[in-house]
Structure 1
């Protein structure tokens, strides 16, 4: 059970447990601004793990603990502190040095977690019992877990510390068959705790004396030992050197492989202790998982890369905290990770509100409706529109997730190129991340209009949110109303000074899933004119780009590549309006079809060069690997 700050103060021996305070014209080209709601960058994060041998004696144990606290980093885990005097010594040292500690009174006190209180405050912590004691064999074994708030940024850092049964494995083999079941159980439970912490925490680190020699285990891969049980989930970040003698590496530092929020800078074995173990010190660069810019699926890469967008959306929802608000507009939901995150967030006290277009309910959508209910007077609810949500004659095609706070990032907006469905993993898709309050507030107002589920008669279809502009669908049909044609109208082709215009030609990059009809013909015609005028036009074409459009592009000598793209993306880099160095990306758009004009949709125009650079890179990957 997770224990909040007040419960900790009453039931645990910890440091001071004060919860932190809740911390139609061309769009203007945006300056590279510092976005007010984004989490500030964290400094490097240095952690450690050290086994304090239980029979060192008070003086030597104190020397080792003090040295660790003053030289090894920002947070760490100790093991084998079964002696009450040693634990009391650690608490006194922490008070003197202004460090916090997590050391439950009754269970898990032998594996305390400590942190520098000038950087962190505790959010919550819990202890899991792995197995009980057996005289002459082992004491009880535990896993300790804490979440820490970084005071300067509001980001959440998770720390797990543990110590497994000894003498079950020699040289990474299943040696003692009486002990080995408890060791394997420990690693199974550790895996569950890592996954659970990862689901609610930006930055996850795991330490411990695992009593398995990693130098041998990484090669042997014996069933149920660390490499076999955890190797698909975590990176083993220790240096390949002994921590208990030159050939035995028992002391581990680990991070989740994909999306842990921590990037290893360096690690080392630190010698010179009274204990029979050396310390392992690890330094990380915290990664902002929600920094402004596009995030891409890569369907020809690893499993993690194929699910990168959906998993990051789920991560943002999971990182929402009780009392927060998550809002979702989507055409369809069937992804398990996103669905589970939404259900779990609602159960933990986050207000979760979901608006979907009409259609046959998926199993995931039925699950959401059952979990959230349909009473829109409640904090959480699920609503399916009757037809479209804004009164269009087509379909609901917008896909947006709003999270009031995800860890240290507030006012987070995720604009998806496609719905929240499993088969997006097989496509080139993206999500644009931004934590600018004007964008968040703008989408929040649109969410209210979507949830009203009526005919939206507002004449304003272009909304300015600072330097960003949102194009709202449906719009009247015809050339003069078409948002894509209007976006292409200011494009100039020669004497460009963009990001990648060494030849002086403006780059126009297109990745479109669906392109057809009279509307599609007019857009292709305009692109042909730009190509003829000297622009560098190239297009990645998805499965719903019809043959007539393909032939029209070929006649205009526009290079194309087929790819499994799920995007409807337009990027301009070069001469735009009066600017020789313009850069704009239009993302989140509905398809380039006649039906899309009368469908619900929201296109976001992003006029920032680093975002355009990211989209140019994403286009190039799809072009080369589609």
Structure 2
């Protein structure tokens, strides 16, 4: 970079993580807005809480490379459909290029603060808080340096997943290269990063991506003692494998760190060649934690699956339906109609809901009901004037469907965790095959939307209020 303007030192704190960060950073919270907070949790069995799959890509895109090569590198990154992207060396690149729809991005603009943006999929994650945190502030330039190597920042986001209500934080940073001037600030930089991560961990699991400028297998340079002290574990430790991440004599200097690694299961780790002098590092991790002491909450918005991803990514919409059914307490009502039920987990959740005293009404529009649907008919009976029933509906329902443009699947839950009047419309049947196809669900939580859906649901069997 040839830019030599002074860094902008303003830190931006928003939302639920602001209070936790204030104590670490010594900031006043006067005038800061706060929103609903998440909660941290302990490790739970996978079969108790379905894991959430997160894909994060660390991408150092080489400041100053030609626009065509930069665009090609971006295309390579986006082709992997990551949930989070940690960028390095992009202070002068346009936000619109770094975060096209459906992505959103945060950074504090500036030569130093803007070099490490954090991007996330806004169709899957709702940003609760964002901020910029100083990692090192060693002023001055060494010989031949166009910018101050010792001035470094991290940008971060705390986000809630629409489908599950779980909260995750992702941090993007870039540590100083080692030199005689900067050698003494590397360990303090890791400690500053650790202080930020510890504050964010009050809301849930934390992932950190960045170019750390120390080689993974160099025992002299790699600050394992300080990283361990801060609870930061590289995915290389978890997988037992590593690879060169760039054109620096085969060095592995790009990382994804996990805070409290026992909260994650790493299911994938790959590097991808870029025009940049760094490779992209892609990590797939499953979250094994669930908010403790806080009921699940559903936020309005779209939820999209990832057919080419891992099992959890493929099942995002199906598991959204499962989570909503599982969150219904005794005495709540569930009303579900679908082109066809064919997912074992959804079927099992409906049966468990009945057993704990939830009133379930189910309707399939399948021409010939399958074994799951027939079992629900037998369990719930077909008396549609009662509070609980299960029926099939073919000719009449298809006429209404064509007239009113009903979704392939609609789930209504009167109370689901902390959410009242939950409505979920999906453009695929409630069948396992939906995990292999692009599937979008829409979450609505207004009473008006719920009531409208309930009236349509009753109309399918000839009932009114």
TM-score where L is the length of structure 2 = 0.50
Max Rg structure: 1
TM-score where L is the length of structure 1 = 0.38
